[in-house]
Every structure is written in C-alpha cells, then in structure tokens.
Chain A
Amino acid sequence: MVARRKLKARGKPTTSEADAAAARLSSLFGPPLLLEGEDAAAYDQLLARVCEAVKPVDIIDEMFIANIIFLEWQVWRWRRLKLSLIQARGLEALKSFLIEQIDYDSYSEHLTRDLTDILRDNLPEDEAESAETLLHRYGQDKSDAVDKVNKILEENGQDIDHILNDAKAKKAKELVQEYMQREPGAVTEVDELLSNAGMSIDTLMANALAEKLNDVERIDHLATIAESRRNASLREIDRRRAALGETLRRSVQGIEHAELKLIETTTPKGKSAA
C-alpha cells in the first residue's frame, strides 16, 4: 500500500519503488511460479520493469500486472523450450551425420587414447609401460600383438568395433561443440563434410525439425494462448484507464460547474450592493 501511494505521489518511480511494488505483488499473489533452472533474478527484473511502465493505481491494476508478468514469463518459457528443442535435435542430427562421415584420421587420436588406457589398466604391472609399443605393433597388424590385444579386450567384455564407435562418437561430439562455438577449424571441417555429402547445416536442421514438428506446434500453441491472454490483460488495463480518465474528467467538470454556479449566485448580490 505504501509503495502504491508513493507511485501515485510522484511522476516516475525509481527502481527501488518498482522493486517495492514487485515485493508487494509477491506478498499479495504469492511467490513467482518458476520451474527448476529458471532465472529468478530475470523474473524480478521483468516484474520491476512492468511495474515501472504500468504504474499501478490500485490493487486491480496490480492483479493485471501480476497476470501479465506470469503470462509473459510463460511466453518466454515456451519460446526458450522451442528453441532449445530445435537446437538439441539439430545438434543430435549433426552428431549422427558426423559419426557416419568422419574419416579414420579424424578420430584415430581418440581411438589410440582409449585403447592405450584399456591396455594400461589390464596389462600386468611390469608390462604396463609397454602399452604404447603393443598398440603400435597392433597397428602394424603383427599377429602376436593382435592376439594379445584381442585377448585383453575379450577378457574385459569389449571388442574393437565397440571401441571404434565410441571413439567416433567422442570425436563427433567434440566437433559439434567446437562447431557451436564457431571455432574456425571445426567450422571448416564440418562444412566440408556437409558439402561432400551434398548437404548444408540448414537442410540438416530442417530435417531434424520435421521430426519434432508436433512438439513444436504444441509449444507454439501454448505460447499463442499465453500471448492472447497477456494482450487481453493489457486491453483491460487500457479500458480501466480510459474509464478512470472519463470519470475524473466528469468529476472535474462537475466541480467547475458548481464553482461557476456559486460565482453566478454571488455576483448579483455584489452588484445590488454596489
């Protein structure tokens, strides 16, 4: 109540006044309904900004403001979800594409590292240092090294194809992350692979979006509902302001009219006295 009086009294509210108005809204209509991971500070900022812009004159205005903020937050939430859904699907599609397309040279480093780690963990302690040598000989297709490596893998319930696929997946994931950060090397490599396959990142994203079209449509629908309800609240504030303005105008006119009558009735007396 104090905050509202302050807002009425002065023309433009300061940020602290807007904050106070926001605090009052929270106390009246409960804490903000945020989901896990949503930014409470951003919500408060939105609340303060709307309070500052609308300048509530009574509790009904505050109700509308609380409603507008809730709905605006929902619009943001649905937009964010749509964007992250499309992005996640696109990145997944890019990763799958890269797993199919990257050549051995690209992921050989990962493969060597993974195999070395497995061998180091499973070779007897005195032979652990020779993991690199063993792997080198394995790479040269030496039968004793191949047998030894295969035996170790078998004992651990693993096979070379599985490790190869893991290394490919790791490299693809790494490339996708670097591509997202727009690192020049990764961008060139990915663009080259895409153009070699007769594709572009847009085609890949479009294909990914097609898979999630139903979800995207559903989210769009929710955002549209929230937007139309928010706009309805804004219209109600306008309507109330217009009605308030009209009432005030009529009230002022009434007072002026009464003053005029008072002057008219008192003037003749003055004239007769004169």
Chain B
Amino acid sequence: LTSDCKINANRANARASTGPRSAAGRTRSARNALRHGLSLAVCCNPTFSEEVETLAREIAGPSANAETHELACRVAEAQIDLLRVRRARHQFLSDTLSDRYYDSLANVRKKATAIRHFVRPNAPEMPLEVLAKFVASTPQGPDKFALILSQESKQLTAMDRYERRALSRRKFAIRALDEARRLAGAVRSEQDPKAPFSG
C-alpha cells in the first residue's frame, strides 16, 4: 500500500510539473502521441473533407437525390481514406529508403560498441579508416529494402490493416450505392417505361 507520505509527495510533484506552458510547447506536446494519424476519420481533417465532398459530387452525379448523395459520400470517404493510407505508407517507405544511415538495430549496436572501444584511453590499436568504413557501411539496394520490410514490419502491418479496412468499407459502400441506383432505376422504368436508363 502506498503511504500517505508518498501520496502527498507524488501530488506535490505532479503540481510542480504541469507540462509545457507556452502555446507552441502545448501545440507540440499535443502531437506527441501522433504517429501517422490514420486512426482519425477523414472527416476530422478539413482538407480531406473537401476532397470527400468533391469526389462524392462526382460519384453521385448532378441529378442525385439525397439518398444517393449520402451513399456516394460513404464511397468517397472510404476512397479518400484508402488514398490517405497508401500515401502515408508510400511516404514512410520513401523516407526510410532515402535515409542514408538506415541500418539494422544489431548493426547500430555493434557500431556504437566499436566507437566506445575506440575512444577508450587504453583502446586496442585500430586504424581510423577501418573504423570509419565500418561505421559508414549501411545496407544498400534490395538488402536495404528487405531490411526495412523486416524491421518496420509492425508499422507496415498496422498501415496494411487500415488499408484493408478502407477497402472493405469502400466495397460495401459501392454495393449499397449500386443497389440503391438499381432500385431507383427499376421504379423509374415501372413508372415511365420509355424513360432513358440512368445508373
């Protein structure tokens, strides 16, 4: 059981450290937990909302009723979400691939150990060029890509999960839209058989 003394000390410490105070600091710390922002719905972002609206209008067409527009919005939302996830993963892969110093964690540890040994007062003799060559050596080409896929698999799998969900949402939204259009078409053709077909 925590003693009263410790509880009081914890409370006093908590009161003393209330995080960043400036507006800039608070804004920055508000984004501390942000990784890729993919868990947020697209409607939370004004830019994406605008894209959704534009695409929904394009999908629904000019003479769409409220129901069709609503269904088109669902399709557009899933589509924009899908594009957002794919862009995020592409950005992540591009950035990591262009990182000149990207290496496996095991190699980074080995390099750090080698540098620590080298700067020790009674370090064993080792030519500086050899150390520099070892420290600067990083995987290249297909090896680097394979390493990224293996080392960053957790993040890539998470992004893949978002993509799968967006694809699934889009598939069912499209089916619902198609079905609504089919029913609307059937009703129209019953009412006015000579009316031109529109999907």
Contact = CB atoms under 8 A, between A and B. Distances in A.
Contact of B150 (A81, A88, A218, A258): A218
Nearest to B93: A35
B59 A60 contact: yes
B114 to A, nearest CB: 19
DSSP class of B's interface residues: helix, strand, loop or mixed? Answer: helix
B149 A254 contact: no
B158 interface: no
B150 A244 contact: no
Interface in B173-196: 174, 177-178, 182, 185-186, 189-190, 193-194
Given A33-B90, A84-B142, A212-B146, A251 B197 contact: yes
A91 to B, nearest CB: 11
Contact of A85 (B142, B160, B171): B142
Interface residues of A, number: 38
B83 interface: yes
Nearest to A87: B142
Interface in B83-123: 83, 86-87, 90, 93-94, 97-98
B79 interface: yes
B167 A229 contact: yes
Contacts of B141: 84, 88
Contact of A251 (B55, B97, B142, B185): B185
A240 B178 contact: yes
Interface string A199-237: 000000000000010110011001001000100100010
Contact of B146 (A29, A219, A225, A247): A219
A157 B190 contact: no
B194 A85 contact: no
A174 B138 CA distance: 23
A8 B135 CA distance: 60
Interface of A: 28-30, 33, 35-36, 58-60, 63, 67, 70, 81, 84-85, 88, 157, 212, 214-215, 218-219, 222, 225, 229, 232, 236, 240, 243-244, 247-248, 250-251, 254-255, 257-258
